[in-house]
A = this chain, B = another copy of it.
Amino acid sequence: MRAGIVNVTGYAGADAARLLARHPEVQLVAVTGRSAAGEPLGAVFPHLADLDLTIGAELPDVDVVLSSLPHHASAEMIPEMLERGQRVVDISADYRLHDLVEYERWYGEHPSPGLLADTPYGLPELHAADIAAARLVANPGCYPTASILALAPVIDLVRPTVVVDAKSGVSGAGRSLSLTTHYCEINENCHAYGLNGHRHQPEIEQELGALRAARRPGSEPLDVTFVPHLIPMTRGILATCYARLTEDWSQEDLLARYREFYRGAPFVRVVDAPPQTKQTLGTNLCLVYPKVDERTRRLVALGCIDNLVKGAAGQAIQNMNLMLGMPEGAGLNGPALYP
């Protein structure tokens, strides 16, 4: 199978190329990038020099496209790719929200709204069958991936008011220059952002809300408070989720429920102690740890990932594998880089 990456020059695109370099069944045959067209990939990213590719302006005919364009730009190009018969994993936010009104509230007008309703949200742990059957999959946001996976097994067992406090490494802000991501500004620093609303909040609410509604029809709608933070590291997201269980659960039973929920999910690990972002470095893993205070029913659920892998490029390849009928983990295995 032949794959192409659109807009390889961002961090998500580059990491998709890194991962495809090891893929046993899919070959990366072409990459594009707006500003760097004509340059060898190795000139922009020396660590990818062995791929021996030149950055092009347009993709040739490939079987599957990983698009890491910015939103809007992605939705403008994808219909055409689909018409050409290509399968597409869209790493942008363009097809994540099923509700057009909600989309427009956060992103403005949608270039191809007709695709919104039926494009599966590409979180394989929730939607594997839909993904396998799709021609276009919307790759989830990094924060939603960690947050949804941390809460999914219990979202029908908690009161509807949920807090997600997320901490992200700086690569989540991308490769474009900004004062916020200037080394001297964010090194040895930490701050919240997006307090007026962050685009990943409706994703979390959409997915957890649907799961809750399906498992507990008629329950109050979910109300997620989401606050992201930037912390001084390159890769990694930790989502700390706070909820109140509606019934008594022992820690043991809770862990068992999580393990049952994620049985068969190759990239979610329910662990026995607070996970560390570094334990996922370079991998497609999501480490999940729920902790209940049995006396008060307070639940703290932790989820952590490498934001560029399970939070972007790795999950895109996991989706691609499912779409192509390959083993879900093809090209994605191997331990984290630690320390």
> Which residues in A have some Cβ–Cβ distance to B below 8 Å?
11, 14, 17-18, 21-22, 45-51, 161, 163, 165, 167, 169-171, 175, 177-179, 181-193, 195-196, 223, 225, 227, 229, 231-236, 238, 240, 242, 244, 269, 271, 274-279, 281-283, 287, 291, 296, 298, 300, 302, 304, 334-339
Nearest CB on B from A279, distance (A): 5
B195 and A334 within 8 A (CB): no
- Residues of chain B lying within 8 A (CB to CB) of residue A231: 167, 190, 231-233
24 contacts between A and B (CB under 8 A): A11-B339, A14-B338, A18-B335, A21-B334, A46-B276, A47-B338, A49-B269, A163-B165, A182-B182, A183-B187, A183-B232, A184-B234, A184-B339, A185-B339, A187-B232, A189-B276, A190-B278, A191-B277, A191-B304, A192-B240, A227-B240, A227-B242, A227-B300, A232-B233
- Residues of chain B lying within 8 A (CB to CB) of residue A22: 334
The verdict on A18 contacting B338 (CB below 8 Å), with A177-B182, A271-B46, A296-B223 known, is yes
Q: In the complex, A281 Cα to B96 Cα: how many Å?
A: 33
Among the interface residues A18, A51, A234, A338, which one has the most CB atoms of the partner chain B within 10 A? A338
The verdict on A182 contacting B185 (CB below 8 Å), with A46-B279, A190-B238 known, is no
- Residues of chain B lying within 8 A (CB to CB) of residue A11: 184, 339
Q: In the complex, A229 Cα to B187 Cα: how many Å?
A: 17
- Residues of chain B lying within 8 A (CB to CB) of residue A170: 183-184, 187
B47 and A187 within 8 A (CB): no
Known contacts A18-B336, A48-B335; 5 further A-B pairs (Cβ under 8 A): A165-B165, A167-B231, A181-B182, A190-B233, A191-B304
The verdict on A184 contacting B167 (CB below 8 Å), with A191-B274, A300-B225, A334-B21 known, is no
Q: In the complex, A171 Cα to B182 Cα: how many Å?
A: 10
The verdict on A179 contacting B177 (CB below 8 Å), with A227-B240, A242-B242, A339-B11 known, is yes
Among the interface residues A177, A178, A186, which one has the most CB atoms of the partner chain B within 10 A? A186
Q: In the complex, A273 Cα to B271 Cα: how many Å?
A: 37
Please tell me which one of the listed residues B165, B182, B269 contacts residue A240 in the complex, with CB atoms under 8 A apart: B165
- Residues of chain B lying within 8 A (CB to CB) of residue A177: 177-179, 182
A195 and B300 within 8 A (CB): yes
* Residue in chain B with minimal CB distance to A166: B165
* Residue in chain B with minimal CB distance to A165: B165
Q: In the complex, A192 Cα to B287 Cα: how many Å?
A: 13
Nearest CB on B from A36, distance (A): 12
B190 and A277 within 8 A (CB): yes
Q: In the complex, A282 Cα to B306 Cα: how many Å?
A: 15
Q: In the complex, A183 Cα to B11 Cα: how many Å?
A: 13
